[in-house]
Amino acid sequence: MGIPRLIASATTVLLLTGCGGGLSPPVEELVGSSSPAPASGDQQPPVAAVRPADVRANELGVVPVLMYHRIIAKPSSVYDRTPADFRAELERLARTDYVPITTADFVTGKIDIPAGKHPVVLTFDDGDPSTFALGQDGEPAKGTAVRILQEVAAANPGFRPVASFYINADPFGGGAAGREALAWLHGHGFEIGNHTYGHTNLSSVSDGEARQDIARGDEAIRQALPGYRPTTLALPFGARSGTDGLVLRGTGYDYAGALLVGANPAPSPYSVDFDPEAIPRIRSQGADGEEAKYGSTVWLDELEADPGGRYTSDGDPKVISYPEGTGSPAERFAARAVAY
């Protein structure tokens, strides 16, 4: 079961529906910073800081974007994980050379990780208190996803404690607790993204209603975090409007990427296959049970079995290295791309 065969189209991903860091600069600045300057007639191709072949670099390879909802002791659906299972998955990622990055950095091509390492994006939907809450000491409460992430990162230098949280109205219990939670996450390098205000299935409402609910969610985030501008959107149920571009741009919002509900790894943002309006995610799940073949355990096994297909960094964020004949870079990144 090879990786290329299992990479699903956006349409296929949408059939697999379910419940669907730091100050982010404006989207146009992010995108602009990662777009190459026009090549002059005598410009030489960039050169990576290490020999790409030595680390088997492939920056056109696929990236796991993992999706979580609740971290609870007694799961009641396939969208829940126990604290022990969540910790074990993070430890596996650290042990197999993955480095967390935010969705914002991923979709805008700002991937800066050491040579030989692989990016992974950790995403949390719905703003559930089991994923983040503050204890009486003002630090992440014991047993929450963020506390576990911090503990795993502390035990594994280089494994960054960053993730992207996608929220609706009144996240993390709402009220003052919710505002304090958002402020803490923002202040500690986590991305806050939009999940629509009312967790609306955007395929079941009019275009006007879809735009309104996205804009309300965006406004709520900006009100809670003055000066902050969301960069990405996670689509509730993985469902999007049939109108092209609607989920990315409208009055009151402007996004660099929109996340689906899972099924498979995402194409590299540097690849011609990357679609910022339909970025697939992988549901965190064990190897057994309902739809396990679409879950994180099975997919991480697949990526380890076929390491040449996954994104492996050359260590130089200015250069996009990939094995010759394995893919094609998107036009806007072509000046930075070097095949070997």
Strand partners, 245: none
Pairing of β 257-259 and β 232-234? parallel
pLDDT tens readout for residues 199-238 = 999 999 999 999 999 999 999 999 999 999 999 999 999 9
The string of DSSP codes covering 200-258 is --TTSS-HHHHHHHHHHHHHHHHHHSTT----EEE-GGG---SSTTTTTEETTEE-SEE
CB-count exposure of residue 148 (10 Å: 0-12, 13-18, 19+): buried
pLDDT(67) > 90: yes
pLDDT tens readout for residues 177-207 = 999 999 999 999 999 999 999 999 999 999 9
pLDDT score recorded for residue 329: 98
Pairing of β 249-250 and β 253-254? antiparallel
pLDDT(263) > 90: no
pLDDT(29) > 50: no
Task: Compute the mean pLDDT over every residue in the chain, rounded to the nearest whole number.
Answer: 89
pLDDT(303) > 70: yes
Domain-wise residue ranges, the chain? 3-32+63-339
Residue with tokens 């990479």, as numbered in its chain: 7
pLDDT score recorded for residue 35: 37
Pairing of β 118-125 and β 164-167? parallel
pTM of the model: 0.87
pLDDT(28) > 50: no
- Looking at CATH, the fold of the domain delimited by 3-32+63-339 is given as TIM Barrel (3.20.20)
Q: Are 296 and 282 in contact (CB under 8 A)?
A: yes
